[in-house]
Amino acid sequence: MREVPAELITETVARLAIEATHFLPEDVEGAIRAARQTERSPLAVQIIDEILENAQVARERMLPLCQDTGTAVVILEIGQDVHITGGYVIDAVNEGIRRGYSEGYLRKSIAARPFSARVNTGDNTPGVIHTEIVPGDRIKVMFMPKGGGCENMSRYQNFLPGMGKQAVIDFVCETVDMSGGNPCPPLVIGVGVGGTAEKAMTMAKHALFRKIGERSPDPEVAELEQELLQAVNELGVGPQAVGGSTTALDVFVETYPTHITALPVAVNIQCHSARTKQAVI
């Protein structure tokens, strides 16, 4: 059994919160640069240039990529041979969020209650925290400051099993088309297919941690990802919905066995500031 102090989890979350909100991942920036070469709409190219300049300014002046520093979504993959000492793991993560958002001067965006008295909690807690038990004696900390505009475009639907892959393609395209400029394209799109309703949405979110260009190990799913990317980019929504061929940078699909009566499909969208950061402790 390997001991991991709760304080190390707190420090890691705080660091990842600051890094994720300031530095656009290299693979995302690279994909945006590549899209600039193929984009034919001059207005779309202008938007792409502004997105690239924004990333450069954020990096050089240590400013957040976006005013919306998001809901702090944290996935912990906890090795079954780890013993967390000195505190409760969920409290440790929330303390990391509190520290990161305070020390990084990041906007706090969490309302304490969903209906009346939507008072800001003041420190961006509580985070949305998922824990998974995995083999080994390490903890992978995955941090995503998830913007409100793109998260609000999430959708779920259960299809008839016989509707197959075409139902997934049509649903993803409909979702992106309906969303227009709200999720700030060019997008990274996570899709969860199978399981149950909550499993499908969790897979859609988890998929957004993949690097641009990283295909599913399942050849059928990898082919679907490529079909989806092409179909979404043929919609013509374009960067910030001004029109163009760059609507998405990538589409990632995760699948899971499902009930014989079901074809659950969930879509979770990332904006062009596709901010994620991970560390293993």
Ligand X SMILES: O=C(O)C[C@H](O)C(=O)O
Question: Interface with ligand X includes 87 (CB under 6 A)?
Answer: no
Q: How far is the CB of 144 from ligand X (least distance, A)?
A: 14
* From candidates 11, 68, 95, 225, binder to ligand X by CB under 6 A: 68
What is the footprint of ligand X within residues 135-154 (CB under 6 A)? 147-149
Strands 82-85 and 2-5: parallel
Nearer to ligand X, 22 or 199 (CB): 22
Q: How far is the CB of 100 from ligand X (least distance, A)?
A: 18
Nearer to ligand X, 57 or 134 (CB): 57
Nearer to ligand X, 70 or 194 (CB): 70
**Inter-residue contact 49 to 272 (CB < 8 Å):** no
Nearer to ligand X, 65 or 82 (CB): 65
Nearer to ligand X, 148 or 236 (CB): 148
Q: How far apart are CA 34 and CA 72, in angstroms?
A: 29
Q: How far is the CB of 149 from ligand X (least distance, A)?
A: 2
Looking at the chain, list the stretches that DSSP marks H as alpha helix, in order from N- to C-terminal side: 6-22, 26-38, 42-61, 89-103, 148-151, 164-179, 197-207, 219-233
**What six digits make up the tokens of 99?**
């520290």
- Torsion, CA 104, CA 107, CA 113, CA 116, rounded to 10: 150
The DSSP line for 215-252 is --SSHHHHHHHHHHHHHHHTT---GGGSSSS-SEEEEE
Q: How far is the CB of 107 from ligand X (least distance, A)?
A: 7
Q: How far is the CB of 72 from ligand X (least distance, A)?
A: 14
* From candidates 26, 33, 38, 67, binder to ligand X by CB under 6 A: 67
Q: What are phi and psi of 266, to 5 degrees?
A: -125, 145
For ligand X (CB under 6 A), the number of binding residues is 5
Give the binding site for ligand X (CB under 6 A).
Answer: 67-68, 147-149
